[in-house]
């Protein structure tokens, strides 16, 4: 496991040094300078997250559209749009890393079906 620990440290460092992470952190710092806007963006992010993971939502597409319309003014601001785009880009990169590891590990998941 020593080799794996070393690789994990290298991966963490690579993520921190990546252009995607650097852009996300820079935009996050800029957003943090405007507490009211930061609160509104965080509220949008929280509500969007809750929608995505709420199994009782009948029509996720319509609910997501309604949420987008509700926050349209905020999402149309360049800083907010760039921040949300950078967040998605970073999340996708992390997901890709996780999937590349999970794909090669043969876990017995038959108990879930």
pLDDT, tens only, 80-97:
999 999 999 999 999 999
Neighbour-count burial of 41, counting CB atoms closer than 10 A to its CB (0-12 exposed, 13-18 middle, 19+ buried): buried
Q: Would you say residue 111 lies in a domain?
A: no
Q: Would you say residue 6 lies in a domain?
A: no
Q: Would you say residue 109 lies in a domain?
A: no
Q: Would you say residue 112 lies in a domain?
A: no
Q: Would you say residue 3 lies in a domain?
A: no
Nearest to 82 by CA among 36, 40, 34, 23: 23
Q: Would you say residue 13 lies in a domain?
A: no
Provide the domain count of the chain. Answer: 1
Q: Residues 64-75: pLDDT tens digits? A: 999 999 999 999
Nearest to 11 by CA among 100, 88, 87: 100
> Model pTM?
0.85
What does the pLDDT read at residue 1?
A: 64
Q: Residues 42-57: pLDDT tens digits? A: 999 999 999 988 888 8
Provide φ and ψ at 6, rounded to 5°: -65, -45
Q: Would you say residue 92 lies in a domain?
A: yes
- Per the structure, the complete domain to which residue 91 belongs is given by 19-104
């Amino acid at each position: 496991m020593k080799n794996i620990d070393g690789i994990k440290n290298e991966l963490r460092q690579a993520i921190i040094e990546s252009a995607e992470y650097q852009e996300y952190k820079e935009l996050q710092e800029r957003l943090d300078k405007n507490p009211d806007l930061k609160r509104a963006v965080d509220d949008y992010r929280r509500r969007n997250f809750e929608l995505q993971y709420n199994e009782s939502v009948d029509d996720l597409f319509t609910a997501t559209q309604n949420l987008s319309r509700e926050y349209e003014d905020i999402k149309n601001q360049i800083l907010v749009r760039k921040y949300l785009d950078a967040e998605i880009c970073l999340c996708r990169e992390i997901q890709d890393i996780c999937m590349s590891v999970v794909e090669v590990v043969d876990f017995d998941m038959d108990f879930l079906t």
